[in-house]
Amino acid sequence: MSHTSTQALSATGPTHTPAEKQPTAMDYCRKKGALLAKRILLFAVFIALWDMAVRTGMADAAFISTPLMVLNAFMKLVTDAAFWPHLYTSFIEVGAAFALSVVFGVLAAILLDRNEAVNEVVAPYIAAFNSMPRIALGPIFILWFGIGISSKIVLATSLGFFIILMSTYAGLRNVDRDMLLMSRLYGASNAKLFWFVRLPWALPSVFAGLKLTLIYCMSGAVIGEMIAAQSGLGLLLQTYSGQFDIASVLAVMLILIIVVVILTAIIDAAERRLLSWSKGSTNIPG
């Protein structure tokens, strides 16, 4: 290296890449507060537009109700002791269907991933059963299992099972090949490959499937209750729809939304805790 170049390097000194600033607790709270404010603002705009449409005559309150009427119907529902058994019934149906879908769906995905011969045999049948309109089969399920909660659990499980099966299977099959080869070179057994490579890699897909499975199980249970039931939120929807009580229909739907949002938030919290190692892996600065 020339003397001039050495002097230039000495003058400028070594180049250091500035370390990325770690967010503080205050930054986190500020970010979450801003996000919450934006969500509240969006909701407020929606409510204002809805109320304005009715007040200006652009929409008929008999068909879309009003925010105030829905709020009154909501308060009437949640303060009525007869409402809570309906919510409890739907919650039991959704919880049982979700648990059955997750357990059998994940186990089936693992079996298909580990046994190619079984996968080749049953794959066409899985596609065929998944393509069937299970909602249209609701009356048949009720005929087979009665109008109690069993038929609703079966209907909801038939919807949720395939969602978690497909998402888990896709996650297991999309593991990085280089990571598998490197793990094998370091002497990892098939069991270690599954528990320490395949399963962690598939977890994001599994959690995405869990959230969809929850929604489909809720839909299946409510639709089954609307067809024939002795109790449940779907029965309330069917009753209020027959009475053309739009405010109460929307109030029940609001309760369904609140339940799903709360349960989804619980899944999100579990996902953040279990997948903290992958946080920011897809975030590109700039």
CB distance 185 to 132 below 8 Å: no
CB distance 247 to 69 below 8 Å: yes
pLDDT of residue 136: 85
CB distance 158 to 195 below 8 Å: no
One-letter amino acid at 36 equals L
Euclidean distance between CA atoms 99 and 160, whole angstroms: 10
DSSP 82: T
- Other C-beta atoms lying within 10 Å of the C-beta of residue 16: 6
Task: Specify the CATH number of the domain 65-276.
Answer: 1.10.3720.10
Any idea how long the chain is?
286
Q: Where are the alpha helices (DSSP H) in the chain?
A: 3-12, 25-55, 61-64, 67-78, 83-114, 116-131, 138-145, 149-173, 177-185, 190-193, 199-227, 233-242, 246-274
Domain boundaries, the chain: 32-63, 65-276
DSSP annotation string for 202-219: HHHHHHHHHHHHHHHHHH
φ/ψ of residue 125, rounded to 5: -70, -35
pLDDT of residue 21: 63
**pTM value?**
0.83
pLDDT of residue 231: 93
pLDDT of residue 18: 52
- Tokens 């920011």 appear where? 280
pLDDT of residue 197: 83
Q: Is 251 exposed, middle or buried (0-12, 13-18, 19+ CB in 10 A)?
A: buried
Euclidean distance between CA atoms 204 and 172, whole angstroms: 10
pLDDT of residue 24: 76
pLDDT along the chain (286 residues), means of 10: 47 50 74 88 95 92 92 95 95 96 95 91 92 87 92 95 95 82 77 81 92 95 93 95 94 95 94 76 46
